[in-house]
Amino acid sequence: MAILSVKNLSISFPIDKQYYQAVDRISFSLSEGKILGIVGESGCGKSLTALSIIKLLPPKALLTADQICFNGTDILAADEHGMRELRGNDISMIFQEPMTSLNPLIKVGKQIAETVTLHQKTNNAAKEALEIMKQVGLNNVEDIYNQYPHQLSGGMRQRIMIAMAMVLKPRLLIADEPTTALDVTIQAQILDLMKQLNRKFGTAIIFISHDLGVIRQMCDEVIVMYMGNIIEVAGTEELLFNPQHPYTIGLLAAIPNPSRKKKSLFTIAGRVPGITERPAGCSFATRCGFVTEPCLRSKPPLVYQQSHGVSCFNYQDIKREIKDV
Ligand SMILES: Nc1ncnc2c1ncn2[C@@H]1O[C@H](COP(=O)(O)OP(=O)(O)OP(=O)(O)O)[C@@H](O)[C@H]1O
Ligand SMILES: [Mg+2]
């Protein structure tokens, strides 16, 4: 059963009196209790996609979609009151920018405890706050409880935010680059905690990351985005070991691998075009080493074989070509 279903979601921004698409008609779903990864280079629309699910897009963003449905609730039709109920209670988000969701004027422990009392009837909010603070790897939690956000390091603030997102054990946790700013041991601890949350309480997770290693460790399924499009989607092992799209192949080849002797064919040259420079056909055409005429004319549909989807006219030829090298 899908806990989240998104159909033809687009997000655009007005630039010089014209709207330009940053996310371009993407569809995906997340099954109950599963972890879905979203990868792609900076600017490909990962955060916007995540923010649209909780309706916290930047003010000028224009959202259109045929459906955003969470656990039977029509998100598109929900008003701000309804969304406030959902956020925290059922859907939590760990934001890429930790300061944006912490109140600078309230002690951090109190902020976590208030999240608890706002959504649950309990006399134990402070105790629950201290407990989750320990679980995200903070020491001396009694002291930290009484500090203000600016008194903490960036990594500690990030962990406070993670604690706040996890304390209510939401049905869906959206984690946008949750551990990028943290050092490796803390990162491992936090990832482990998210896995536990997922296993123990069945929390479904959308996990956004640049790091394919972390994605492999965490996710059941992965979406690869490029310029606001989903260009490939598959189960994690399938995607990593049987990638079809030249962009995914390039991303994987870009991971340093000391055992690989040959220089990769697939270093992705060039840069991602801006949203005002979107090509008419395939969004990856300007950087693809296998581009053909049809790629310049129309956008390839996301074609599925079983649960592996790829948006490329030439993926079968490309696979053959790679095998022959
Ligand atoms: N407030 C805004 N105004 C105008 N354009 C925006 C705004 N926010 C995002 N965009 C456009 O949308 C694109 C996608 O943004 P998004 O933040 O979703 O990227 P991302 O994949 O999360 O990148 P990163 O990995 O750097 O976090 C950006 O490249 C930018 O062109
Ligand atoms: Mg982002």
Strand residues in 168-261 grouped as ranges (E): 172-176, 204-208, 221-226, 229-235
Counting from 1 in the atom list of ligand 1, the atom nearest the Cα of 11 is 12
Q: ∠ CA(74), CA(77), CA(79), 5° rounding?
A: 115
How far apart are the C-alpha atoms of 195 and 131, rounded to whole Å? 17
Predicted local distance difference test score (pLDDT) of residue 170: 93
Over range 198-217, report the average pLDDT. Answer: 93
Q: Assess whether pLDDT exceeds 70 at residue 262.
A: no
221-226 and 303-305 as β-strands: parallel, antiparallel, unpaired?
unpaired
The token pair at 23 is 């996310």
Give buried/exposed letters for 33-50 (b at 16+ CB in 10 A, else e): bbbbbbbbeebbbbbbbb
Strands (DSSP E) contained in 40-178 are 62-64, 67-70, 73-74, 91-94, 172-176
Smallest CA separation from ligand 1 atom 3, residue: 13
Q: Which of 9, 11, 19, 46 to mutate to test the pocket of ligand 1 (most atoms within 8 A of CB)?
A: 46
Distance 68 CA to ligand 2 centre (A): 20
Residue 55 structure tokens: 């309706």
Decide: 44 in ligand 1 pocket, CB within 6 A. yes
The DSSP letter of residue 284 is: T
Is residue 260 over pLDDT 60? no
Q: Residue 98 pLDDT more than 80?
A: no
Centre of ligand 2 from the C-alpha of residue 44, in Å: 8
pLDDT score of 193 more than 80: yes
